[in-house]
Amino acid sequence: MLFDGEAELNLPRIVRDLLDGREVPNFLAKGVTPPDRIPLILTSSRNGLVQITRGCPRGCQFCKPTTSFFRSVPLKTILMEAALNAAAGAREISFVTEDVLLYGARGLNLNPDAVKRLFKEALKIVRRVSFSHVTLSSALVAKDAVRYITEANGLSSDDPLLPQVGFESGSPRLVGRYFRGKPYPWKPEDWPWIVAEGSKLLNDNYWYPCLTYIVGFPDATPEDYVKTTELIDRLQDEGFMGWTFPLLLVPIGGTRIEGKAGFKVFKELPPEAIDSIVAGWKLSIKFSYYIYPKIIAPLKNPLTKRIVNALIGSRSDGDVDLVNQGEARCRGNGFPSDKHKEYKWVTSQRYQNNPARPPPPSHK
């Protein structure tokens, strides 16, 4: 049988029925566990992961978590899980959430005080608290909570946070069609501004996000993809620190977009879609060169450090090839004859001649 939902309350009953030889349905989509009945973890978690929310009220059509009611896990439960991890030796924990700034919110009415208290109390238990996801519109609404998290963690350009953020598209038309709740309290037409200003705010607070975007919305036009590329170019021009990472649309079962969309393959995409993919790759590679020494600096094991260094260092001449080859494959052209084509931002020559790596771009 296939069980789709939160397991805590319903799965044990199904398992009992199976063990007792009773009939169970082939497919069961069920289960929203009230926050006070979400059980504590029993042992420390990998990488100190601690769940703080479930669900998301923004209602994006391609998103599975939003099909579940939004809930915040009680502070007491979170702190007990933090303490359990600390007792097992963890000095850092990472909050698992669709949007850290939604903690304690009522719907989309944010509660920055609850967010601050959450970090304040958790940081009495461990040295550092990071998180998985945040939304740019939430960040612009709860600027003081963003600053608080940065100050309480003592973040710096050498010790940033690297959260994942969905920007999805630069086209307000697609925002209005597929994720009009994401810009709230602003409107779909404000989305490019939200992405640009929200990114600056995060960068000013040493949050260097991975901005993911979606290629393959069912009725996306070349103009929609051009708007995404233009937004990536704008971020680049304004000195964005982070990654821009394209994802092909996956019409996940149970989401609102399921049934409206299928999987797209590259040859079904217009050239403008591939342009947007390549623009994201190029920006990301440039930032990777800036950030990777900082990421590997805290690695304690010298052997691991040398291996990672060797792996990344060996790519210094190969990244142009990688982007070229990836672009050619996406366009269905095989491999380009001019393998060392130079990009505006990514050139092997530039990195070979500058072992110190390029300075961080600044938007200030």
Q: How far is CA 72 from CA 66, 76, 98, 152, 157, in A?
A: 14, 11, 11, 21, 30
Judged by beta carbon, residue 35 or residue 332, the one nearer ligand SF4 is 35
Instruction: Give the pair of three-digit tokens for residue 302.
Output: 């010298």
Judged by beta carbon, residue 85 or residue 97, the one nearer ligand SF4 is 97
Asked if 96 is part of the footprint of ligand SF4 (rule: CB under 6 A), the reply reads no
How many amino acids of this chain bind ligand SF4 (CB under 6 A)?
12
> What amino acid occupies position 239?
G
Judged by beta carbon, residue 214 or residue 278, the one nearer ligand SF4 is 214
Q: Return the residue of 48, 166, 172, 183 that touches ligand SF4, per CB under 6 A.
A: 166
Cβ distance 258 to 208 under 8 Å? no
Q: Where are the alpha helices (DSSP H) in the chain?
A: 7-19, 75-87, 112-122, 136-141, 143-153, 172-178, 191-204, 222-237, 271-296, 302-313, 319-331, 348-352
Asked if 101 is part of the footprint of ligand SF4 (rule: CB under 6 A), the reply reads no
User: Footprint of ligand SF4 on residues 110-139 (CB under 6 A)?
Assistant: 135
Judged by beta carbon, residue 184 or residue 240, the one nearer ligand SF4 is 184
Asked if 177 is part of the footprint of ligand SF4 (rule: CB under 6 A), the reply reads no
Minimal distance in Å, beta carbon 170 to ligand SF4?
A: 16
Q: Which stretch binds ligand SF4 (CB under 6 A): 51-59, 219-227, 230-238, 277-285?
A: 51-59
Give the integer Cα–Cα distance in Å for 186 and 354.
43
User: Footprint of ligand SF4 on residues 57-86 (CB under 6 A)?
Assistant: 58-60, 63, 65-66
End-to-end Cα separation, the chain, in angstroms: 55
Burial class of residue 299, CB neighbours in 10 A (0-12, 13-18, 19+):
middle
Residue ranges that bind ligand SF4, judged by CB under 6 A: 56, 58-60, 63, 65-66, 98, 135, 166, 179, 182
